[in-house]
Structure 1
Amino acid sequence: MTSSSPSAVSEDSTSLGLATWSNEFSLNWNHDAPQGVDVSLFRPSIPPVVSQLLSGFDPINSSFTLPELAMLPVDVVLAVSDSTFQEIPIVQDEDNDPEGVRLLLCPTPALDKNAKSNTLPFVLHCYSQWALARVFEPLKLVYTMRDQVITHFSSETTRNRTILIANVMDTFAKKLAIDDSRKTILNHLVLDVQQSGAYFTATPPSSVPNWDRQNAMHTLDSMLETFSLQIATQSISACIQSLDYAAPVFRRACSEPPEQPVNLANILLQSNLNLRNFAIFDIIQSITTGRPTYIRYEVPFSLELCERIYQVQDSIGLRWLHGFPDQFILLFAWIISLCEVPRAGNNAELVTWIETNLPHIKIAVDDSGDPVLRIGRMVVQECWRFAVLVFLYMVLGQAHAHDPRVIRALKGFMRLVRGVKPGRNPDAYLFTPMSVAGVAATEAQDQDTLRQRILGVRECADPGTVGNDVVLELEDIWARARDEGRPAVWSDLRIACFRVTGR
């Protein structure tokens, strides 16, 4: 029988918050540069937020005017009228949608180009195309996405933004990249939500806590929807900047008092998608950049808790959105918290308990849908299991890349990667665990495989995107370790992130 908690760790230690990983929130906040990095090489800054870029903009009225800075390209679909209507393309080839997501989200309408009522079908179509291109298991998302789009579209305050987001999604889904026109739109959307976040954070909390949390969650909703576009099209630095703004909003949305850590397990087990989404982004940005988490978390961990998360995966889990198993997110956070326990890294019994019980953490695999896609999704999630091992040994155990345990974990990871053919599925969802496991890659063959698989994903091939930055970080780690005649260690990732992003 497998033990559900390590005997070598006290009950208190399993719920330690990330005490030294918290930060005071400020729009000018930045982490200190890693030791040995010349700060003068980088001058990152947060640009001033443009005030009310889209205020007074009515996309349903063709007579709208915008400030000169915010003028949009003529091919952007803002309303359904003679001058601005764009036909929804009728896609005959359904090879990119073997699970029928497009039909579920937006049945193809018979379009009348003069009917304003066709704006919503266009928006739904754009969101369905985006889901096919970016969502790990779009079938799990389809009804939630449809309801959310309809809700946003029915509101005067969110309709304009929803239409602009749809235009960015439409272009990305067609090209897996966005043109200069859509980059302009996205930059305006980002500045707008950053301004909203800054304004909310600067406003004193309401005397009614529940009301304040609801306002925070509403603000966070807009910020994270825009953030989903950023992680597909913009740099790591730009994404981190948006998290700078979103983190204090998230903290106001949590029920714990400001002086207490946020219980991560409660976040992962509750129904609010935006709270779960931010917490996952926070943990992922930490393990893939070497930076601290934004939020101080209380992190309980046990196999029983993993089982509870597994049981609710279909109803509230976010594995279907990003391909990150929620149980592993919790385990990553727990490992981070254990790093704050004196001598925990030297506790061989603790490390053994984690590596022994890791195979017992069940991952949900949807039996429905396309069988080929299902195989790719299974590979992605099992790759995360090996990425956890690499992280465990190199972070908690402070092992270097030549440690036999690290070599063994990386070998298992690479065997899975090479076991599936290169392609959008699964590679579009593999480059994140690759950024973790890649720190341990020392053989030229493994480095070449990781480089080729990441850059083979269309949106990762463009400079100034998250995926491309990941490759630059890995190249920096590999080159420095090679030039200095030593194996890589985990702190190399933090230095590489700073050298590539300035953050």
Structure 2
Amino acid sequence: MAFEPMKRAWAICSLVAKQFKAGQEARWTLTLLADIGGRLGRGVILEESDISMILTLQSQVQQQLVNGKNIGNDKLARQTSIGVLDATIETIVIHLFASPACEWLTLMQEAAPIFRQLCPEPAGVPINLPSLLQHANVSLCYYAHTNVLCGAVMDLPMLFQYDCTPQNFSHVYSPIVEIENNSGTQWFHGTPDQFVAMFAKINAMQEDRWAPTPEIVTILERRIQDFQPIYSKLCDSFLLATRILVQECWRQVAYIYLYMGLCGDSSNTPHVKQAFKQFIKLLNSTKPGHMPDNFLILNFCAPAACKKQDCNIIRKRVQGIKINGPSHGVNDNAKIFENYWAHANAEGRPTIWSDVGEARKRVLGV
């Protein structure tokens, strides 16, 4: 599943070529990935034999990660590390659909040393996120992308410090309108790289308990406002319109996270209510389905839902995702937002962003 499947196909072809060159163990891992991924892609309900394959894959990748920590820094060692990270990322993608959250969170942590070793910045120096999101290696991009989004969506600390100062990501906020290359990670989830950089900055400010100044809020508001959706001429008119709609939905999510995540506003404040209203308006303008629902990460905007009817809209869309494909990750997310909605309602108050982290701990135990 990818926001732009043709670019995902390009990444898979690259993965297959590298894994075949890497030796018997890598080819065996690739076979497991293909078998499990194929069944998930067809929407097959996983049986005990499939779960066994996933456990075998997990064990195989974890051993590769252990071995990868002990290799050197020369060109050959670096290629080996990239191959290990590639296999790890594909396993994480499978876990996102088929396993409890603790499985892929564990792999993210275990892959952290290899990821950091592959980044160009010296140890102890924050990783330049905007540059990384444009890196030619998809796995490096995806790891950072997932780390940032999980930090935001699940209210988790990020595994690394990222350099997201305005001077370093000014080029990421430039109004690009058309793009035909395979750089960045937007083609995978639909999340604009511009907003990933912003979410990382907000995450870091939250972790440092840094209160935003009015000037900082104004700067971030302006960047959200100035964002221009990216599109490709190669898709048909329906896909073009839907992909632009997804990016416009992410604009409203960025507003919601700015006000609730950074400024500490509740779901009942005017700025949040306006952004959520626009999100729901966009959502209601299209029919439920794989596109756009799978690419909106609906639980990201769920904290902003105040009214019962808005909660029901999100529930209905999420239920559609669960019906149409593998849904373990969707179930986890649904349990989390149902939990914090229930707690806020029981206490007779609007939702605040810290409710997300508390609900995650209650539901997932992490």
State TM-score, norm by structure 2: 0.91
Check the 8 A contact 2:176/2:229 in 1, yes or no.
no
Aligned-residue offset at 1:185:
0.5
Alpha-carbon distance in 2 for matches of 1:295, 1:143: 28
Aligned equivalent of 1:188, options 56, 76, 79 = 56
- Could you list the per-position Cα deviations for residues 91-150 of structure 1 after superposition, in whole angstroms to 9, with x for gaps in the alignment? xxxxxxxxxxxxxxxxxxxxxxxxxxxxxxxxxxxxxxxxxxx11111223334234324
- Whether 1:327 aligns to 2:194 is yes
What residue in structure 1 maps to residue 256 of structure 2? 390
- Whether 1:375 aligns to 2:235 is no
Alpha-carbon distance in 2 for matches of 1:236, 1:147: 27
Give me the CA root mean square deviation: 2.3
Check the 8 A contact 1:435/1:474 in 2, yes or no.
yes
Aligned-residue offset at 1:311:
7.3
1:271 match: secondary structure = coil
- Whether 1:500 aligns to 2:366 is no
Alpha-carbon distance in 1 for matches of 2:206, 2:194: 19
- Structure 1 residue ranges without an equivalent (≥5): 1-133
Cα distance change, pair 487–461 in 1 and its aligned pair in 2 (3 A): farther
- Whether 1:255 aligns to 2:134 is no
- Whether 1:273 aligns to 2:133 is no
Aligned-residue offset at 1:397:
0.8
Aligned-residue offset at 1:218:
2.4
Alpha-carbon distance in 2 for matches of 1:153, 1:342: 47
Aligned equivalent of 2:29, options 136, 161, 174 = 161
Check the 8 A contact 1:310/1:362 in 2, yes or no.
yes
Aligned equivalent of 1:232, options 69, 85, 97 = 97
Aligned-residue offset at 1:383:
1.1
One-letter amino acid matched to 1:148 = L
- Matches of residues 43-122 of structure 1 in structure 2 within 5 Å? none
Cα distance change, pair 321–466 in 1 and its aligned pair in 2 (3 A): same
Alpha-carbon distance in 2 for matches of 1:429, 1:466: 13
What residue in structure 1 maps to residue 337 of structure 2? 474
- Could you list the per-position Cα deviations for residues 205-234 of structure 1 after superposition, in whole angstroms to 9, with x for gaps in the alignment? 63x465554443222111111111111212
Check the 8 A contact 2:2/2:189 in 1, yes or no.
yes
Aligned length: 363
Alpha-carbon distance in 1 for matches of 2:128, 2:285: 38
What residue in structure 1 maps to residue 13 of structure 2? 146
Aligned-residue offset at 1:300:
2.5
Q: Which has the higher helix share?
A: 2
Alpha-carbon distance in 2 for matches of 1:276, 1:369: 24
Aligned equivalent of 1:219, options 62, 73, 84 = 84
One-letter amino acid matched to 1:269 = Q
One-letter amino acid matched to 1:360 = D
- Whether 1:356 aligns to 2:219 is no
Check the 8 A contact 1:460/1:466 in 2, yes or no.
no
Cα distance change, pair 459–293 in 1 and its aligned pair in 2 (3 A): farther
- Could you list the per-position Cα deviations for residues 254-301 of structure 1 after superposition, in whole angstroms to 9, with x for gaps in the alignment? 122222211112211221211111000100110110001011111123
Cα distance change, pair 151–250 in 1 and its aligned pair in 2 (3 A): closer
The structure that has the greater radius of gyration is 1
Alpha-carbon distance in 2 for matches of 1:438, 1:256: 36
Check the 8 A contact 1:323/1:380 in 2, yes or no.
yes
What residue in structure 2 maps to residue 411 of structure 1? 277
Alpha-carbon distance in 2 for matches of 1:196, 1:310: 40
Cα distance change, pair 310–369 in 1 and its aligned pair in 2 (3 A): closer
Alpha-carbon distance in 2 for matches of 1:361, 1:327: 8
Cα distance change, pair 334–427 in 1 and its aligned pair in 2 (3 A): same
Alpha-carbon distance in 2 for matches of 1:296, 1:313: 30
One-letter amino acid matched to 2:61 = V
What residue in structure 1 maps to residue 42 of structure 2? 174
- Could you list the per-position Cα deviations for residues 139-191 of structure 1 after superposition, in whole angstroms to 9, with x for gaps in the alignment? 22333423432443454332222222222122222225422221211121012
- Structure 2 residue ranges without an equivalent (≥5): none
State TM-score, norm by structure 1: 0.68
1:307 match: secondary structure = coil
- Could you list the per-position Cα deviations for residues 16-57 of structure 1 after superposition, in whole angstroms to 9, with x for gaps in the alignment? xxxxxxxxxxxxxxxxxxxxxxxxxxxxxxxxxxxxxxxxxx
- Whether 1:287 aligns to 2:155 is no
What residue in structure 2 maps to residue 62 of structure 1? none
Cα distance change, pair 412–348 in 1 and its aligned pair in 2 (3 A): same
